[in-house]
């Protein structure tokens, strides 16, 4: 099996003295669907933020496709992020832009043709039950709708690694099931997924590896 991600003794300390992550070591195989769980404040979001290079570790190293993240100069970070999709816990959508614009933005930056952008965006919106919402500003959407827009934006690039932080936190049980099915489909298509959640209903009976974080420590490496 081929490794896509590896963390070696990764710690994150927030000043003055909050140890959000404490010497985390684990590896993820290409094609895995990995869950990270643990109580509020355990460090789940911090861990995903470090993998996406939104923040840097205080110590330790993270390897994506065998390359240390610390070796990426600033100007190469966008290239890295093209390979890693992320659904943030707080979405980080452009509230005053439309659904279409939010999902299309990374393709536009890459210079993908207008027709191709339209085709891909409409297809992913349909898959996520957002057809007809294209021209609506994101600020008018419900929490669950925003969550699905964030997921559409994360996967539009067909990332190799998808990071999802509580991606069903605002969804009712029917939408949760639908979104989890989309994750399963993406995984079956070859996308490696790391999903952080405190909701054990998401991973029981799914027979996937589950890492448990507690107060910044991994309980089951
Ligand atoms: N930017 C920051 N500055 C200071 N402390 C932070 C920062 N971000 C996170 N922390 C702290 O780090 C710890 C881990 O937070 P994190 O958000 O990673 O937890 P979490 O497991 O995602 O929790 P939740 O389930 O509530 O989303 C917490 O004690 C939090 O207060
Ligand atoms: Mg969190």
Paired tokens of 174? 């029917």
Query: Per 3-state DSSP, what percentage of the chain is helix, strand, and coil (rounded to 5)?
Result: 35, 25, 35
Q: b/e map of 78-95 (b: 16 or more CB within 10 Å)?
A: eeebeebbbbbbebebee
Closest ligand 1 atom number to CA of residue 49: 18
- How far, in Å, is the centroid of ligand 1 from the Cα of 211? 17
Counting from 1 in the atom list of ligand 1, the atom nearest the Cα of 89 is 27
Tell me: the pLDDT tens digits for 173-217?
888 888 899 899 999 999 999 999 999 999 998 899 999 999 999
For residue range 141-150, what is the model confidence (pLDDT) as tens digits? 998 899 999 9
pLDDT score at 180: 92
- CB–CB of 37/210 below 8 Å? yes
Write down the pLDDT at residue 191: 97
Q: Do residues 24 and 9 lie in contact, with contact meaning Cβ atoms separated by under 8 Å?
A: yes
- Whether the CB-CB separation of 212 and 219 falls below 8 Å is answered with yes
- Looking at residue 161, its pLDDT comes to 98
Residues with CB under 6 A from ligand 1: 14, 18, 20, 38, 40-46, 89, 198
Closest ligand 1 atom to 213 CA: 21
β pairing state of 161-165 and 84-87: parallel
Q: Select from 22, 43, 50 the residue to mutate for testing ligand 1; criterion: most ligand atoms less than 8 Å from CB.
A: 43
Residues, CB-to-ion distance under 5 Å, ligand 2 = 44-45, 89
Minimum CA distance residue for ligand 1 atom 30: 41
User: What is the strand order of the sheet 84-87 is part of?
Assistant: 84-87, 161-165, 192-196, 33-37, 210-214, 217-218
pLDDT of residue 221: 63
List the one residue out of 20, 3, 19, 2 whose CA is nearest residue 63. Answer: 3
Take residue 196 and report the two structure tokens written for it: 């952080």
* Mean pLDDT for the chain overall: 94
- In angstroms, the CA 140 to CA 119 distance is 24
Number of domains in the chain: 1
Tens of pLDDT, residue by residue over 112-141, are 999 999 999 999 999 999 999 999 999 999
* Domain of residue 115, CATH code: 3.40.50.300
| Whole-Å CA distances, 128 to 67, 75, 179 | 33, 32, 8
Domain enclosing residue 65, as ranges: 3-218
What pTM does this model have? Answer: 0.94
88-101 tens-digit pLDDT:
988 999 999 999 99
Minimal CA–CA distance to 176: which of 197, 154, 207? 197
CA 196–ligand 2 middle distance (angstroms): 8
């Amino acid at each position: 099996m081929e490794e896509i991600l590896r963390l070696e003794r990764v710690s994150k300390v927030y000043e003055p003295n909050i140890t959000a992550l404490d010497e985390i070591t684990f590896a993820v195989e290409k094609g895995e669907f990995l869950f990270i769980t643990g109580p509020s404040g355990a460090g789940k979001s911090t861990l995903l933020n470090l993998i996406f290079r939104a923040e840097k570790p205080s110590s330790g190293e993270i390897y994506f496709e065998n390359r240390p993240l610390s070796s990426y100069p600033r100007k190469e970070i966008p290239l890295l992020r093209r390979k890693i999709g992320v659904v943030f816990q707080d979405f980080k959508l452009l509230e005053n832009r439309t659904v279409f614009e939010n999902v299309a933005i990374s393709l536009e930056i890459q210079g993908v043709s207008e027709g191709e952008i339209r085709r891909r965006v409409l297809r992913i919106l349909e898959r996520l039950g957002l057809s007809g919402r294209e021209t609506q500003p994101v600020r008018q959407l419900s929490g669950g709708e925003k969550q699905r827009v964030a997921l559409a934006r994360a996967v539009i690039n067909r990332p190799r690694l998808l990071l999802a932080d509580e991606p069903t936190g605002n969804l009712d049980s029917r939408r949760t099931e639908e979104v989890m099915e989309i994750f399963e489909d993406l995984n079956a298509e070859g996308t490696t997924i790391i999903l952080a959640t405190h909701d054990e209903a998401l991973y029981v009976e799914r027979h996937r590896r589950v890492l448990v974080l507690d107060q910044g420590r991994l309980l089951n490496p």
